[in-house]
Structure 1
Amino acid sequence: MNIKGIFKSVRFPFMVAFVLIVLFSGCAPKIKINMLQPAQYHEASLTKTIAVLPFSGPDGKAFAAELEGVLAGIGIDDHRFFTLVDRATLDKTISEMQLSQSGLVDQKTAAKLGRLIGAQGIYTGIVAQNSCNDSRYFEKRSTCVQYEKRRDKDGNIYQGACINWRHYNVHCTKRTAIFAVSPKLVDVSTGKILYSRNLSATAESSGCDDTKPVQSEHVLIEKAKEAVKRDFRRDIAPYYVTREIKLLDSNESIESPEAKDKLKRGLEYANKGRMDNACELWGEARNLAGNSYALLYNLGVCAESRGDIDAALLLYRQADKKLGKPDDDISLALSRASEAVKNKNKLKEQLGGK
């Protein structure tokens, strides 16, 4: 892919979908925009051809296979982000080097193995915790054992309030699962550690004898593992976050009735999820009311939603200048767009390595 093509692939993913939500401030809707963020660990994201060795610790080999699945499944705009060394090739080389299939190897050995299999980086690691603990407790219950008997005006007996309660305790269990792992990425060419982090998560469930049962150890461990894998995924590759963005509906500085109408109709389209029509109307309204901070801001949201973050930042700055005083929504937009501009170069490098 050439540099121009790479830049386009970086620019577009800032937004892949916008979804109107049913929250309103006055008449102005809010939209949700999916924005691509750079990996938390830049060097790890640049190491594209990788292999995952068996981890040490309880069920370490199985979890290493799960991480391998996470890495293999990462795709940005239908392009696979990482290339994994074939598992058969890796296992054969491990066997030839007489390495353990269930233990951690040192950095030097990992680098040597990586060179033999053609990998740029090797993941190793330790599963430090993989367990569940139960704690017992009681909860109080009450049940009525005698009700007042009452008569209506016709002499019919009916049940009144409770006049005798029985109080008792029930046995309950609180189950807590914890999963902790320390993955590490070794650069094959230098032996340098590019990524190392202690990841952990817990999952809890409670149940009593007279209600729903406590969740199984397997279910809770899997929940904790999923949380750890989500953190790992964000560490080593670009990922999407959803931003909720408010639109503005102020008529301030708009004298033209036609411009006011276009602002209003644009918000109505946005309210129905039709940002394409909304942005077109606001662009037309801006030609009639160039001093409207609301129109400038909304057009900034349009630019942000189509991935043109530089144009969005410029429009937000213009809106801020036209208003001439602090505004929470504009300040938030300026901060968000400034962050996205800074992230753009990282994203370009991370995506351009494919």
Structure 2
Amino acid sequence: MRFFFFLAATALLAACQTPGYDYEARIAPNFPQAADYRAPEVGRFRGPAGDVAEGELEAMIADIRLDGMSWFMPTQGRPDSLYEGRVDIEAWDEEVRYERERRCVKHDGLFDCKRHAMVETECTTGSVAVAVTATLVDLADNRTVFTAAQPGGSARETCIDIAEYPDDGRPEGVYRDPRQSNYNPYNAPIGMVEDAVVEAVRRFRYDIAPYNKTLRAEIMTEGLIPEEQNDTRFGLAVDATKGGNFLGACAQWDELARAYPRAPAVLHNQGACAEARGDMETAQLRYARAAELASGIPLLKDKKARLIFEALERVSGRRYDDMLLDGTLPRSGS
């Protein structure tokens, strides 16, 4: 049943997804200026488990790859920048839960239970929250490039049996309110702090280096003006897109654009084809023209043209990423 439920949920998700064309894109780091520093060194991270933060960041830097090649280059004793920072413990909490379950406490054989009993358990869940702050420093002029903080957390649970009595028909589950406790964060178990620091440092991946991501150039499934609304080729191109026929659909959008050069939905979908091919300049021109035409339609509801303006913003971002990374992309043999 679980398997069929999963298939049904997957099918429902696919059905609800706006049709379009998926493609791989290089995305600039959240702090774009970090892309200029290809030979960083990891310095000291102060605070509890600071050594763990240093080791995790060093390992991350060594492991980051883009298009199959290492992004960061060996410093060879000449680093161009330095990552340093600190670890702060934000919280150490515990929750104690009390639960009751019916359990077999005596067996006659492997699958033969002779006696059931009610067993009460006490489960204690401890949780630790940390914040790791990292600063990138340009070593040439001792200038701070960026400072960012990432959260991390860890949890551990232990359960013990505290009572056992004959099965008297009492309901299973929680039988009393949980108990919450807050402790001095800097007395938190060091093992939990270390686990939380590891999680926090991993979140810096998208701050410090470019990455590849699958994006979708969504199409508009309905026309915005009568010409595109009433042409059966529009619906056929939408169906071709849903069926995964990229070439056929894009050829149809090109044909419709020649017939209706002022049809915003057609121009948007033509732009989606250009975006998926990696031609961001053409895509931006098509989206911009579609946005201009849509803005001139009287009484058009904003949500009907939402995809056009979102696509224009997305492609503008992709062009910025490409421009930023153009001179820094790794090349084979370099």
1:65 and 2:16 matched: no
In the alignment, the residues of structure 2 paired with residue 276 and residue 206 of structure 1 have an alpha-carbon distance, to the nearest angstrom, of 54
In the alignment, the residues of structure 2 paired with residue 120 and residue 52 of structure 1 have an alpha-carbon distance, to the nearest angstrom, of 11
| 1:49 Cα offset (Å) | 1.7
1:48 and 2:7 matched: no
In the alignment, the residues of structure 2 paired with residue 136 and residue 40 of structure 1 have an alpha-carbon distance, to the nearest angstrom, of 36
In the alignment, the residues of structure 1 paired with residue 324 and residue 218 of structure 2 have an alpha-carbon distance, to the nearest angstrom, of 31
- Alignment CA distance shift 1:67-1:248 (3 Å): same
Alignment of 1:236-275 (within 5 A): 236-241=208-213, 243=215, 246-250=218-222, 252-254=225-227, 260-261=232-233, 263-275=234-246
- Are the equivalent residues in 2 in contact too, given 1:238–1:347 (CA < 8 A)? no
Deviation by residue 1:111-155 (Cα, 9 ceiling, x = unmatched): xxxxxx2111122233334x99452423454769xxxxxxxxxxx
| 1:82 Cα offset (Å) | 1.6
Gaps in structure 1 of 5+ consecutive residues: 1-20, 87-116, 145-165
Query: Partner residue of 1:286?
Result: 257
Deviation by residue 1:17-58 (Cα, 9 ceiling, x = unmatched): xxxx61337xx6355555433222233221112222353433
- Alignment CA distance shift 1:318-1:245 (3 Å): same
Q: 1:296 aligns with which of 254, 262, 267?
A: 267
1:84 is paired with a residue of what secondary structure? coil
Query: Partner residue of 1:353?
Result: 328
Query: Partner residue of 1:180?
Result: 131
1:341 and 2:301 matched: no
- Alignment CA distance shift 1:31-1:329 (3 Å): farther
- Are the equivalent residues in 1 in contact too, given 2:220–2:307 (CA < 8 A)? no
- Are the equivalent residues in 2 in contact too, given 1:179–1:201 (CA < 8 A)? yes
TM-score in terms of structure 2 length? 0.66
- Are the equivalent residues in 1 in contact too, given 2:22–2:216 (CA < 8 A)? yes
- Alignment CA distance shift 1:175-1:84 (3 Å): farther
- Alignment CA distance shift 1:46-1:256 (3 Å): closer
Query: Partner residue of 2:15?
Result: 23
Q: 1:309 aligns with which of 280, 283, 300?
A: 280
Amino acid at match of 2:319: K
In the alignment, the residues of structure 2 paired with residue 118 and residue 275 of structure 1 have an alpha-carbon distance, to the nearest angstrom, of 48
Amino acid at match of 1:125: G
1:195 is paired with a residue of what secondary structure? strand
1:128 and 2:88 matched: yes
In the alignment, the residues of structure 1 paired with residue 153 and residue 147 of structure 2 have an alpha-carbon distance, to the nearest angstrom, of 20
What is the aligned length? 273
Amino acid at match of 1:229: R
- Are the equivalent residues in 1 in contact too, given 2:257–2:266 (CA < 8 A)? yes
- Are the equivalent residues in 2 in contact too, given 1:254–1:291 (CA < 8 A)? no
- Alignment CA distance shift 1:243-1:350 (3 Å): closer
Query: Partner residue of 1:234?
Result: 206
- Alignment CA distance shift 1:276-1:207 (3 Å): farther
Deviation by residue 1:161-186 (Cα, 9 ceiling, x = unmatched): xxxxx998641222213333222222
Query: Partner residue of 1:225?
Result: 198
In the alignment, the residues of structure 2 paired with residue 22 and residue 246 of structure 1 have an alpha-carbon distance, to the nearest angstrom, of 13
- Alignment CA distance shift 1:306-1:245 (3 Å): closer
TM-score in terms of structure 1 length? 0.62
In the alignment, the residues of structure 2 paired with residue 58 and residue 224 of structure 1 have an alpha-carbon distance, to the nearest angstrom, of 9
Amino acid at match of 1:51: E
- Are the equivalent residues in 2 in contact too, given 1:140–1:167 (CA < 8 A)? no
Deviation by residue 1:50-107 (Cα, 9 ceiling, x = unmatched): 2223534334334312212212222332343221325xxxxxxxxxxxxxxxxxxxxx
In the alignment, the residues of structure 2 paired with residue 332 and residue 199 of structure 1 have an alpha-carbon distance, to the nearest angstrom, of 32
- Alignment CA distance shift 1:76-1:303 (3 Å): same
Query: Partner residue of 1:18?
Result: none
- Alignment CA distance shift 1:207-1:287 (3 Å): farther
In the alignment, the residues of structure 2 paired with residue 194 and residue 225 of structure 1 have an alpha-carbon distance, to the nearest angstrom, of 23
In the alignment, the residues of structure 2 paired with residue 235 and residue 255 of structure 1 have an alpha-carbon distance, to the nearest angstrom, of 43
Gaps in structure 2 of 5+ consecutive residues: 1-12, 104-116, 162-172, 174-188, 330-334
